[in-house]
Amino acid sequence: MTTSLDPLHVLMLIENNPYPQDTRVRAEASALLSFGCRVSVICPSGKHQPARESVDGVDVYRFRAPFEAHGFWGYAWEYLYSTMIMFAISVSVWHRARFQVIHAANPSDTLVLIAAVYKLFGTKFVFDHHDLSPELYDANCGGKGNGLVRTVLALFEKLSFYLADAVIATNESYRSIAMSRGDVKKERITVVRNGPDLARFHAVVPRRPAEAGGRTLIAYVGALGRHDGLDHLLRSLKHLSHRRTDLFCVIIGKGEALSDLQRLSGELGLDTLVHFTGWISEEAKLSLLAAADICVDPDPLNPFNNVSTMIKVAEYMALGKPVVGYDLVENRFTAGTAGLFVPGNDEEAFAGAIAKLMDNPDMRRAMGASGRQRVESELAWSRSAEHLLSAYRRLLPAAILDPGRRAVPASQATD
C-alpha cells in the first residue's frame, strides 16, 4: 500500500520499440527517476533481451514483439495482441507496486484502452504524442492505405486526447494538432521536444571507415523504414555520381526497408559509394557521425514528416555537423542556420546541396558551429527535461517531485 511519502510510481508503455533502445523514452524515464519517481516500463523485447530486468534503475518488463503488420487484419492483430499482453503485464506490475501514472507513448494509440481501465482507480493518464498515427500509416503505405484502418487510427487518437489528463507534444506543430483535432485545452499540453543528451556526445572519438579514404564522408543515421526517404538519398547520390565520385556515404541503422534499399543501391551502381552498417553500438554510431563531413536527413515532404521532429537532426547538430534536408517545417525550426534545405522531394536539388557543401569546407564548419551552439542553448535534453517536470507538477501538484532525489527501483523495494 502506497502512502503520501512513497515515491510517485510511473508506468511507461511502449508498443513499437524496445527499451532502452527507444532514446526518447529512455531520456524521459531517466528524467523521471531524477525527479524521485519510481519508473517501470512495459515494451516489446529486442534481440537477446530478457523478459524482465532493471536498466539503470528502471524496471523493464518485456513481451515478444508481434510480426510486422500489413493491411487491416495485420494491424488489427498487432494492436490487439500487444494491447492485451501489455495489459496483462500491467496487472502484474500493479500488484507488485501500485502506480499513480500511466505514461503511454504512441504509436499505438490503442494503449489508451489500458489507461482507461486504471483511470477507474484514480490513475492519471499522460498521453505522450510521439507520432501522428493516421499520417504515419499513410506515409508507410505511400498514401494508398486502407481507409478503414486510417479511420480507426483517427478514432483511437481522438480517444487518447479525450481521456488524457495531460498531453506531451514533441513540438509546436503537434501542440496545434492536439488543440484543433483533439479539442485539448492549451493548458493541458506541454511541449517536450526531442533533444540530444549532451553527456552522450562528450569526448566522442571520430573514426572514419577505411573504405572512405580521403573522400568526403556523408552520413545518415536512423530507421530504415519505407517512409524515411532513403530511396530519395540513393537516387540523389546517383545524380551526384554523374558529376563526381569523391564521396562515400554510410547509412547507419536498420528497418524493414533495408533489403530493398541494398538492392536499389546495387541497381543504381552505388556499391562503391554507399555502405550500409546495419545495427551498430552507440559508441560506433557516434564515432562514425563525428567523422562525417556532411550529415543528411532525406525524410520526404508529406503530411507526417512535415510537422514531425527528427531526433537525428539534433544529434547531427550536437556533433557540430552541417545538415542537408528537404524544406520541412520542423526540420527548419530544429536546424536553423545549421541546415541547407531544398524544395521537398527534389532529388537533384538534394544532390546539388551536398555538392555545394562538399566544395565549401568553411561553410560546413560555420554551419556545424551554429548547430552545436543552438543545441547547447536551446535544444539539449536538459531543457526538455525541465518541461517534463513542469508537466508532472501541474498534473500532480501534491506529489513529491524532487530533482536530484532518486527513488529505489521497484525490483529493490519492499512491496
User: Could you report the per-residue pLDDT of 99-129, keeping only the tens digit for each?
Assistant: 999 999 999 899 999 999 999 999 999 999 9
Q: Which DSSP symbol is given to 6?
A: S
Residue 2's pLDDT band (boundaries 50, 70, 90)? very low
Do 9-195+380-412 and 199-378 have matching folds? yes
Residue 414's pLDDT band (boundaries 50, 70, 90)? very low
Residue 279 has pLDDT above 90, yes or no: no
For the entire predicted model, the pTM comes to 0.89
**How many angstroms separate the CA atoms of 336 and 363, rounded?**
14
Residue 216's pLDDT band (boundaries 50, 70, 90)? very high
Q: Which residue has the higher pLDDT, 6 or 169?
A: 169
Multiple choice CATH, 9-195+380-412, 2.30.30.40, 3.50.50.60, 3.40.50.2300, 3.40.50.2000 = 3.40.50.2000
Residue 225 has pLDDT above 90, yes or no: no
Residue 98 has pLDDT above 50, yes or no: yes
pLDDT of 227 reads 86
* φ and ψ of 214, to 5 deg: -95, 10
pLDDT of 71 reads 64
Mean pLDDT of the chain: 92
Residue 74's pLDDT band (boundaries 50, 70, 90)? confident
Residue 142's pLDDT band (boundaries 50, 70, 90)? confident
Average pLDDT over residues 81-86: 95
Distance (Å) of CA 4 to CA 8, 9, 33, 177, 339: 9, 12, 17, 36, 49
pLDDT tens digits, one per residue of 147-194 = 888 899 999 999 999 999 999 999 999 999 999 999 999 999 999 999
Lowest mean pLDDT among 24-28, 142-146, 388-392: 142-146
Residue 229 has pLDDT above 60, yes or no: yes
Q: What is the torsion angle, in degrees rounded to the nearest 10, for the CA atoms of residue 232, residue 237, residue 243 and residue 248?
A: 170
CATH number of 199-378: 3.40.50.2000
pLDDT of 5 reads 60
Residue spans per domain, the chain: 9-195+380-412, 199-378
* φ and ψ of 217, to 5 deg: -95, 120
pLDDT of 405 reads 56
Residue 231 has pLDDT above 50, yes or no: yes
pLDDT of 149 reads 84
pLDDT of 69 reads 61
Q: Which residue has the higher pLDDT, 1 or 256?
A: 256
pLDDT of 404 reads 58
What SS3 class is residue 272? coil
Cβ contact 110:103 at 8 Å: no
**How many angstroms separate the CA atoms of 242 and 239, rounded?**
6
- For residue 42, how many C-alpha atoms fall within 13 Å in the half-sphere facing its CB? 25
pLDDT tens digits, one per residue of 349-368 = 999 999 999 999 999 999 99
Cβ contact 323:297 at 8 Å: yes
Q: Which of 288, 290, 349 is nearest to 324 (CA)?
A: 349
The type of residue at 113 is L
Average pLDDT over residues 34-41: 95
